[in-house]
Structure 1
């Protein structure tokens, strides 16, 4: 194909033709005939057959929430969780404050103090779920894998300031003793048969 055919802007000689379109009716009887003509075509009965076929199949796809819930992926970013150490059952958070610094929605507040053993501990840790956009930056920057996103997505509240406290996010002791703490599936996750290899250490956690 030559470039002259593209450069030629004379549309009258390039085979253009007008489409034969019927005039729109102006009276009531003409509009009624147009509706009937457009309605009773094959496409209408095809759509009706699809609906009827799905009705008589009785294959329900509706999830009966809250009795039934859809499975979510392991990397789903829902309400935050704070992890404990497998060796001493104490919290992993060391109070570095990186999660507070990297939070782009400014929803994390963390306060630390020095305990009687001259170690820094977290005195207050809150997350405002009303401001959180669940981006996952706090979980990615945590050097101890202390904060992750869990699978709890039911966080509706009647208050605009819906805060999540450190104690609410921390893994319960009974769940920790039973070995049911879900780890973040990624870098640093607990490998299979790790329970047999975890031993008590003399470190004062």
Structure 2
């Protein structure tokens, strides 16, 4: 019993030493996220338009049903999303939409500061996702 208590206290004292803390002074020091972190969504642009072909795979595979896509056709007959919205209040950041995209038009960034003051700011339109 004494051995277990001593082991627990040694771990506690080790974490009290400088250089072993896990606390980050958040506003001034940003966290480093991994490459596989699933943060805010982003539509990948090309030279003249977005890369999305409005195939409806992302809203189909989304378990939270937070993606809305309405398609249209341009002069060449190519489909593009006339409306593309993601409701972040419903999104669970699972990444299924990114995996399902056949043309890799959607990606997840490392942005994790998503706080807003109004509910409307959590609805990301195509224009906001292209930034």
What's the TM-score, normalizing by structure 1?
0.52
Question: What is the root-mean-square deviation of aligned Cα atoms in Å?
Answer: 2.5
The answer on 1:91 being equivalent to 2:41 is no
> Which one of the candidate residues 27, 31, 37 is aligned to 1:76?
37
Q: Greater Rg, structure 1 or structure 2?
A: 1
Partner-residue secondary structure (3-state), 2:98: helix
Listed as ranges, the matches of 1:113-192 within 5 Å are 113-161=72-120, 162-171=122-131
Deviations 1:88-129 (A, max 9, x none): 353110111110111110100011112233322211101000
What's the TM-score, normalizing by structure 2?
0.78
* Structure 1, unaligned runs of 5 or more: 1-42, 172-205
The alignment of Structure 1 onto Structure 2 pairs a total of residues equal to 122
Runs of 4+ in 1 over 4 A off after TM superposition: 57-60
In terms of fraction of residues, the more strand-rich structure is: 2
* Structure 2, unaligned runs of 5 or more: none
Which structure has more relative contact order (CA 8 Å, sep 6+)? It is 2
State the 1:132 CA deviation.
Answer: 0.2
